[in-house]
Chain A
C-alpha cells in the first residue's frame, strides 16, 4: 500500500490515492475486508445474519438512489422484493412452467422487478409526494394479498420453495459469498452513480427542482431510469431472499420489512451511500443483540426514525462528516476573478437577440403582463425594474418557460421558445438564477456548481453505473469547469464545503457559478443583489459587466436602483404589466413618471 500523504482537503482531484478520494473509499474497503474475512471469525449463526444483511443491502442500495438521492418516499418497496422472490421461486421450482436454471430465474426476477419498478414509480412523475408514498404502500399490501390468494401459482399460505443455487453457492458460506459479491457490486455501482452527473441531478430534483429544470434536467426521464435500476436490484434481492429463506410464504413480506429498508436509508442519511449501508447493517443486526428486541424491532426502528427526523435529519452520514465540522473562516470575502471568464466561456457565442413580442399573460383576470415587447441584445446588461406586481418576475418566468403567455411569443435569434418546456432552456443556453437561491444544501459547493453542467455530459446512466471511460471523462470535464466557475465568482476555497454552511450572499454567487456552467448565451438574474452588502453588490456588478463583455446577454431584475443605473446598458421600466419607459440609465433617471412610479414601491 502506498503511504497516505497528509494534505489539506483541497478541492478533491481524481487521483485515487489523493487524500480526498482515499478517505472517501476507506470505510468501504474496511467493510469489504471484514466481509471477506467474516467466515474466519464468526460462527454459523452470524453467517445467516450476514447473508440477510447482504440481501437487504442489495435492495436498499437501489432504493437509496430513489429515497436518499431523489427524495421519493417509496415506503412499500418490499413489494418488489416479494415479486422477485416469487418470480425466481416459481420459475426455478417449475410449478407453473418447466423449471429453469436458478441463475436464469434470478435474472428474470431482476427483469420483472425493473418493469414493476417503473409501474409503481409512474405516480411519482405526476403526483405529490404523499400520494406516491401511499400508492407504494397500497401496492405492497396488494402484492402480499395476491401471493396469499393466487394459490395455484404461489402456493398461497403454504408457500413455495425458494431456488437452490448450484455448487459452490449451495453451502452456507458459499451462498454468503454469492450474496456478498452482488452486494459489493451494487455498492460500487451506486457509488458510481452517486458521484456522477446523474446522482447530482437526483439530489437537485429532490432539493431544488426548479433549479434542476433550469439546468436542463428532465425529471421524468431520470426518475424512470432510476426506477428501472432500483426495481431490478430489488427483484434480484427478492430472488436471493427466497434462496436465503429456502421456503417463502406471504407473511415473510410484511410492511415492517419494507419499513426496515426505508428507515435504514434515512437513518443512514440522505445523499450518502456509506450512511445507508451502515444503517441497513445496523437495523439487521440490532434485533439479534437482545432477544426482546426481535418482537419490538419495528417499534424500535420507528422510534429511531422519529428521532432522526426531529433531532438529526442528516443521519449517520452527518455524524461521520468530520470534514464539515471544522469551522469555516468567519470573515471571508467573495473576490470574483472575472479575468478567468474567457477560459470558461470560450469564444463569443452568437445566438442572436432574445426578444419578447407582444406578450400578455393574466392570472384570474389580473393582467400580470399586458402586451410587452422586449429585446435583449447579446453582450448587454438589460435592467428590468418596476414596483411590486409590475410583472418583472413574470416576464422572467415567461422567458424561462414557467408560464405560457396567452398572447405573443418569446424568441431566441428568431426561433420561438417553446412555452412551458422549462428544461429546454438549458439546451438553448439560457441560464438563470432565483430570487431565493435554489441549491442542494447537503451537497458540496462544487457539486452544486457541477449540476449546472449536467447537459454537457456525454455518457449514459449505464456507463456511469459501471464507470466506463466516457463517464470518467465527463466527470473530469465537469469538475474542471466547475472549479473554474467557482474561481470566477471567487468561491474556489469553499468548493468542498457543504453548501448549507455558506452565508446567504455566497449562495447567490454559487448560483451564478452554476449558471455559468451552461456557457450561457443569455443569463437571467432574479434579484441577485437582495441581501448583499454594499461592497458585495459592487463586486457583483463588476462581475456581471464582465460576463456581458464575453458576449452573454444579461437580463437583470433588480430593486437596487444603484446597481441598475451603475451597470445596465438598457433599462426597461414596468408598471402594471406594461412598459412605462425604456432607454439608457441616464434617460430613465430623468424620466419624471418613472421616478414617481419607481419611488412608490
Chain B
C-alpha cells in the first residue's frame, strides 16, 4: 500500500507541480495569475488522445502537436485575455478575462470532444505493472521541465531577460528589452509546459474536459504554498500535495481526502499568506 501511495502520489503531484510551474511562468512575465493554467493540462490530454488515438498519428508527432497546441493556446491567452487588461491589473479584471477564456475552452472541449473521460494512449510499448509508465511519465516530465527551465534561466541570454522582466519590469523596459515579445514567449512556454503535464499525466487523468477546473485548483495549491514565481517551491509543494492527497485517499477515503486537502490548503494559506517558503525575491513594494 505504501508503495502505491508513494507512486501515485508522486505521479499526480508531478502533474500538479507542472501546472504550478505553468502558473509561475505566466505570472513572472506579466504579474497575472491565469485561470487558463488548468485548461492547458486539459488541452494536453485531449489533444494527445485526439491526435494519437482518434487520428492515428505516430506517437512522437502527436506529442509534438499536443505541446504545440498548448503553446499556441498560451499565445492566444496572452493576446486575448492578458495584454488588454495589463493596464488595469489593480481592478482584477485579468482574473475575469482569463476565466472567460478558460470557460470557453473548457465548454468547447466538453461539446466538441466529449463530456465523458476518454482513454489516453500508452506511450511506450512496455508491459504493465509495478513502476508503470502511468507513474513515471509525469515524474520524468517534471524533472525534464525543471532541468530545462534551470538551464534556460541560468545559461541563456533569453533566460536572463525572462528573469529581468520578472524582477523589475519597468527597469527591463527602460533597458530596451523586448518586453512584449518576451511575455508572449513566456506564455508559449507555459502553454507547452501545461500541455506536457496533461500529456504525461494522460494515462492517470485521461482526456477529460473537467480536468481543467480540477487542475486549475490543484495546480494553484503548489504555487500558493511554494511562493509565487518560485518554481522549485512549486515542485516541492506539488509533490507534497500529491502524496498528502493520495495518503488521505487511502487512509480516510475519497470524500474526506478532498476535504482534508482543502482544509489543509486554507489553513496553511491563512497561516502563511506568502507561502511556506516565503515570498520570492522582490523589491520596491
Contacts and interface: CB of A to CB of B under 8 A. Distances in A.
Interface of A: 71, 73, 75, 122-123, 126-127, 129-131, 133-135, 137-139, 141-142, 145-146, 149-150, 207, 255-256, 259, 266, 295-296, 298-299, 301-303, 305-306, 309-310, 313
A141 B81 CA distance: 24
B142 to A, nearest CB: 21
A208 B132 CA distance: 54
B189 to A, nearest CB: 21
Interface residues of B, number: 36
B104 A141 contact: no
B93 A313 contact: yes
B96 interface: yes
Contacts of B269: 123, 126-127, 131, 135
Contacts of A298: 103, 107
B265 to A, nearest CB: 7
A309 B259 contact: no
A73 B94 CA distance: 11
A266 B103 CA distance: 15
Given A73-B92, A126-B270, A298-B107, A138 B217 contact: yes
B96 A309 contact: yes
A550 to B, nearest CB: 36
B216 A137 contact: yes
B84 interface: yes
B217 A299 contact: no
Interface string B227-268: 000000000000000000000000001110011001001100
B104 A142 contact: no
Contacts of B258: 141-142, 145-146
Given A141-B213, A141-B214, A73 B96 contact: yes
Given A71-B92, A133-B95, A256-B103, 13 more contacts: A122-B270, A127-B273, A131-B269, A138-B265, A139-B262, A141-B214, A207-B91, A266-B96, A299-B103, A299-B111, A302-B103, A306-B100, A309-B93
A142 B259 contact: yes
B255 A149 contact: yes
B82 to A, nearest CB: 11
B84 A145 contact: no
A126 B274 CA distance: 11
B216 A299 contact: no
A410 B81 CA distance: 46
A133 B93 CA distance: 12
5 closest Cβ pairs, A-B complex: A302-B103, A306-B100, A149-B255, A305-B100, A299-B107
Given A142-B258, A299-B104, A129 B92 contact: yes
Contact of A146 (B99, B103, B214, B255): B255
A305 B111 contact: no
A137 B111 contact: no
B220 interface: yes
Contacts of B213: 137, 141, 255
Given A75-B99, A127-B273, A145-B254, A299 B33 contact: no
Contacts of A137: 213, 216-217
A596 B81 CA distance: 50
A127 B220 CA distance: 14
Which of B93, B99, B104 has the most C-beta atoms of chain A within 10 angstroms of its own C-beta?
Answer: B99
B146 interface: no
B33 A146 contact: no
A123 B271 CA distance: 10
A295 B111 contact: yes
Interface in B64-113: 80-81, 84-85, 91-93, 95-97, 99-101, 103-104, 107-108, 111
B197 interface: no
Interface string B8-40: 000000000000000000000000010000000
Contacts of A313: 91, 93
A256 to B, nearest CB: 7
Given A149-B255, A309-B85, A134 B104 contact: no
B259 A146 contact: yes
A135 B100 CA distance: 18
B78 to A, nearest CB: 14
Interface string B203-235: 000000000011011001000100000000000
